[in-house]
Chains A and B, each alone.
Chain A
Amino acid sequence: MSAAPSAASVTPLVSMKAIDKSFPGVHALKSVSFEVLPGEVHALMGENGAGKSTLMKILSGVYSRDSGTVEFNGKPVEIGSPREAQNMGIGIIHQELSLMPDLNAAQNIFIGREPRTAGGLLIDEKKLNAGATELFKRIGLNIDPRTPVSRLTIAKQQMVEIAKALSNESRVLIMDEPTAALNDAEIAELFTIIRQLKAEGVGIVYISHKMDELERIADRVTVMRDGAYVDTLPAATTPVQTIIEMMVGREIAHAAPDIPDLSAAEVVLEVRNLNRGREIQNVSFSVKKGEILGFAGLMGAGRTEVARAVFGADPFTSGEIFVHGKKVDIRQPRDAVQAGIGYLSEDRKQFGLATGMDVANNVAMASLERFIGTGGVIDDGKIAGTAREYIDQLSIKTPTEHQEARLLSGGNQQKVVVAKWLLRDCEVLFFDEPTRGIDIGAKNEIYKLLNQLAAQGRAIIVISSELPEILRLSHRIAVMCEGRLTGFLPGGNTPQEEIMKLATQRHDDTAPAGNAREEEKMGETA
């Protein structure tokens, strides 16, 4: 293991050695080692599913390890719970914001450690609010500490999380993608805070997917791949390309899609001036037959909201939807399905699959009326036969069509949902984070599947928070930020920075992008 030169002389704040962890069916961590020195920012890199979050959850007491040792300040420790980690001085800012929306900002920050009065019986609200105000001042956050968290933007909520971690007097601070929802100015502020903490001797574990941040903030980089430790390198002298190759485990050929010539293709779906409050503001776009339109943006940008509104799963206040140039009135998913629009949700288990039912019935679920036989009885034989066709066509890995859907792997569950919509003859398919929680091999299969569907003449809309995925799949890219469509970009060789620029283009940053006109222009070039 090649560590920074300073590592030998200083006792690490945290030293994790040969950590192993398995979940049912997944070997999540394979003998991983990791250390944090006082005053260093140690970046932890790896693709989704590489095991970064799992490793950090072990360090912060959320998970227990199967084997291996954890030392804090040179002494072996057992971290049995989040509280023990906290007391030890290990703070974590989780990737999924873990705030309580019904409580206000100050209450959230001091949850579990409320200042008390009256002999510990009552909460000292004054001290609570004053403490929060002081923390906010320290990180330059200008909000009333008594504002309910549900009323804050995602970026502000993130800052509240940081304030919460800071309030803990943490000696080790784990930041799991802290900048995912922040704009440039907010990121700069965050980095100022990180440098300040560094100077105070705090060790920081920094998990991020944004390569450019490494040079700006990290001292060392540890790379993980498929649950295993790869290497630890100094951040300043290691080229980004090297880190990326270590993350993916191969030299990446630039994987741009072959963009078909769609100039003569028919527009299948057109959405004009869709609106709903702040979540969806005047969004217009169209998709052609055979086109893959990628929707990029940060968490909470409104992409899922748009998809769900077009699909009729959520209402919209104004806007028009056209399918094959004909206006359709979509009030509920049923209307969308009849118009030939399918939606594959982000959370398959919750929304897309009846996990307790078998593959065959999941495939048939949206088209049951086709399988009604004599006397109104459902023809299970016919369902099974149809399911088998799709199992072959999409190469779904399942022992039989009667396997319960929940027993399939993530990628195969995704395919079952695709089969459901194909059976329904959907011409427009929304894929919302289609590869979330799917391992790398299965990801490639999903990519192949999407290309295949487009080649067959279906219009595909892919929502993804992973830029490489967007770039790899999209023929054209729509970018959203805070409910607005901030622009369209051509697919293929578009630099990630250009997408990020549009994805963080707050309303007050620059002049509005003029969605409708942009759309026309892009439509011509695409």
Chain B
Amino acid sequence: MTAISSRPGIGAMFRTQGAQKLLAFAGLVVLLVGFSLASDRFFQTSNVIAILQAASVNGVLAIAATLIIITGGIDLSVGTLMTFCAVICGVVLTYLGLPMPIGLAAAILAGTASGLASGIFVAKLKVPPFIATLGMMLILKGLSLVISGTRPIYFNDTPGFTQIATGSIIGNFFPAVPLPNGVVILFVVAGLAAFVLGRTVLGRYAFALGSNEEALRLSGVNVDRWKIAIYALGGSIVGVAGILIASRLNSAQPALGLGYELDAIAAVVIGGTSLRGGQGTILGTVIGALIMAVLANGLRILSVAQEWQTVVTGSIIILAVYADMLRRQRAAAAA
């Protein structure tokens, strides 16, 4: 067995776990080829763009979830936090009538603050991540409803707000590739997150936390502070997702959000990130989100009922993790 070396530099964002990513990537290719053969409506530009657009919100949420899961934690609050950020954005823009950049900043700040709170609960108060973020999930769901008065907030007074996700700057320059901004934002967030994981101290400690927290503590690292920082970063990324979904819907829907966290975790898991922590990649997560979007879209095109789509997605999750288990066992036996 040859040693796998993690390449330094930008390549580090694609580090380790080549095999599982390959597996996920192969799965994506199989789905793409399969659906293309099954229906000629599938592989058309408009449909591919629809798939990417559909993957963008879940993808960004899943990236946030990946950061937390790598530390050995879990974040159940990403779904309702996304809604909360959208509502904050709506309050600032529609109710207060402030300029757009302030609304966007407010959404991201709200996400950061919530992540910070989750991080403090987990790191300082030692509440298990599952419980801390379960609590945050409910708190944020309630707050969204309270702040919005349980009514959707529309962004009709903020010209250009819907363009954030649905416009296409790239399309302006290259009309042949009308890639929506939302998709571009997904890729930018993915690039930044991979960079943070691969190149920065914060990323290094995220892996170290998930790998052996006690060892990191004994190395003289202030583990609490870094753990809080990771949750806060995750929160700010969820803020971006909040802006994306608000822009796509041209509204902040306070009742929305519950269930998104499970889709996000599903994407992370399909992408090969271990729920035990210490391992994981952003690229895998993005592929995971794409697999879920392709499945939903492809099954819809094949007129499979919505109910069955969830059954298939669930099966894929179990299959993906089982395949990963087999791979690990084989690797352990060969080692």
A residues with a Cβ closer than 8 A to B are 62, 81-87, 92, 94, 98-104, 107, 111-112, 114, 116, 121-123, 125-126, 129, 144, 146-148, 151, 164, 276-278, 317
Give every chain B residue within 8 A of A278 (Cβ-Cβ): 335
Contact B215 A100 (CB under 8 A): yes
Question: A123 CB to closest chain B CB, in angstroms?
Answer: 6
Question: A402 CB to closest chain B CB, in angstroms?
Answer: 30
Contact B12 A112 (CB under 8 A): no
Known: A94-B218, A114-B201, A114-B204. A100 touches B3 (CB 8 A): no
Contact A112 B221 (CB under 8 A): yes
Contact A101 B218 (CB under 8 A): no
Known: A123-B199, A276-B333. A99 touches B278 (CB 8 A): no
Q: At the interface, yes or no: B119 with Cβ under 8 Å from chain A?
A: no
Give every chain A residue within 8 A of B218 (Cβ-Cβ): 62, 82, 92, 94, 98
A98 to B220: give the CA distance in the assembly, Å.
12
Q: At the interface, yes or no: B99 with Cβ under 8 Å from chain A?
A: no
Contact B211 A82 (CB under 8 A): no
Q: At the interface, yes or no: B306 with Cβ under 8 Å from chain A?
A: no
The listed residue (B3, B207, B220, B333) touching A86 by CB distance below 8 A is B220
Q: At the interface, yes or no: B217 with Cβ under 8 Å from chain A?
A: yes
Give every chain A residue within 8 A of B16 (Cβ-Cβ): 102, 148
Give every chain B residue within 8 A of A85 (Cβ-Cβ): 220
Contact B5 A123 (CB under 8 A): no
Question: B100 CB to closest chain A CB, in angstroms?
Answer: 29
Question: A145 CB to closest chain B CB, in angstroms?
Answer: 9
The listed residue (A83, A87, A100, A147) touching B278 by CB distance below 8 A is A100
- SS of B interface (majority): helix
Nearest opposing residue in chain B for A122, CB measure: B199
A122 to B212: give the CA distance in the assembly, Å.
22
Contact A100 B221 (CB under 8 A): no
Nearest opposing residue in chain B for A152, CB measure: B3
Contact A121 B200 (CB under 8 A): yes
Contact B211 A144 (CB under 8 A): no
Q: At the interface, yes or no: B232 with Cβ under 8 Å from chain A?
A: no
Q: List 28 A-B pairs, Cβ < 8 Å.
A: A62-B218, A81-B220, A82-B218, A82-B219, A82-B220, A83-B222, A84-B220, A86-B219, A94-B218, A99-B215, A100-B207, A100-B212, A101-B278, A102-B16, A102-B279, A103-B204, A104-B5, A107-B208, A111-B208, A111-B221, A112-B216, A112-B221, A122-B200, A123-B204, A151-B3, A151-B335, A276-B333, A278-B335
Contact B220 A102 (CB under 8 A): no
Nearest opposing residue in chain A for B213, CB measure: A100
What mask results when residues 215 to 250 of chain B are scored 1 for a CB within 8 Å of chain A, else 0? 111111110000000000000000000000000000
Give every chain B residue within 8 A of A147 (Cβ-Cβ): 3, 5
Q: At the interface, yes or no: B125 with Cβ under 8 Å from chain A?
A: no
The listed residue (A62, A84, A123, A144) touching B200 by CB distance below 8 A is A123
Contact A83 B200 (CB under 8 A): no
What mask results when residues 277 to 304 of chain B are scored 1 for a CB within 8 Å of chain A, else 0? 0110000000000000000000000000
Contact A104 B6 (CB under 8 A): yes
16 more A-B residue pairs beyond the given contacts A100-B278, A103-B207, A112-B221, with a C-beta to C-beta distance below 8 A: A82-B218, A99-B212, A99-B215, A100-B215, A101-B212, A101-B278, A103-B211, A111-B204, A111-B205, A111-B221, A112-B216, A123-B200, A123-B204, A125-B12, A151-B335, A277-B335
Give every chain A residue within 8 A of B220 (Cβ-Cβ): 81-87, 112
Listed from nearest, the 4 A-B pairs whose CB atoms lie closest are A83-B220, A125-B8, A100-B211, A98-B215
- The size class of the interface chain B forms with chain A is 20 to 34
B residues with a Cβ closer than 8 A to A are 3-6, 8-9, 12, 16, 199-201, 204-205, 207-208, 210-212, 214-222, 278-279, 332-335
Question: B279 CB to closest chain A CB, in angstroms?
Answer: 6
A144 to B3: give the CA distance in the assembly, Å.
9
Nearest opposing residue in chain B for A111, CB measure: B219
A214 to B210: give the CA distance in the assembly, Å.
38
Give every chain B residue within 8 A of A102 (Cβ-Cβ): 16, 207, 210-211, 278-279
Nearest opposing residue in chain A for B9, CB measure: A125
Known: A100-B208, A100-B278, A123-B199. A111 touches B216 (CB 8 A): yes
Give every chain A residue within 8 A of B8 (Cβ-Cβ): 125-126, 129, 146
Question: A380 CB to closest chain B CB, in angstroms?
Answer: 33
Contact B208 A146 (CB under 8 A): no
Nearest opposing residue in chain A for B223, CB measure: A112
Nearest opposing residue in chain B for A114, CB measure: B201
Nearest opposing residue in chain B for A84, CB measure: B220
Contact B201 A123 (CB under 8 A): yes
Contact A148 B212 (CB under 8 A): no
A356 to B220: give the CA distance in the assembly, Å.
34
Nearest opposing residue in chain A for B199, CB measure: A122
Give every chain B residue within 8 A of A94 (Cβ-Cβ): 218
Question: A120 CB to closest chain B CB, in angstroms?
Answer: 8
Give every chain A residue within 8 A of B216 (Cβ-Cβ): 100, 111-112
Nearest opposing residue in chain A for B332, CB measure: A277
Question: B15 CB to closest chain A CB, in angstroms?
Answer: 9
Give every chain B residue within 8 A of A83 (Cβ-Cβ): 220-222
A147 to B4: give the CA distance in the assembly, Å.
7
A94 to B219: give the CA distance in the assembly, Å.
11
Question: B242 CB to closest chain A CB, in angstroms?
Answer: 26
The listed residue (A62, A92, A101, A107) touching B204 by CB distance below 8 A is A107
Question: A349 CB to closest chain B CB, in angstroms?
Answer: 17
Give every chain A residue within 8 A of B204 (Cβ-Cβ): 103, 107, 111, 114, 123
Contact B219 A112 (CB under 8 A): yes
Question: A78 CB to closest chain B CB, in angstroms?
Answer: 16
Give every chain B residue within 8 A of A146 (Cβ-Cβ): 3, 5-6, 8
Question: A144 CB to closest chain B CB, in angstroms?
Answer: 6
Contact B6 A116 (CB under 8 A): no
Nearest opposing residue in chain B for A60, CB measure: B218
Question: B81 CB to closest chain A CB, in angstroms?
Answer: 26
Question: A338 CB to closest chain B CB, in angstroms?
Answer: 26
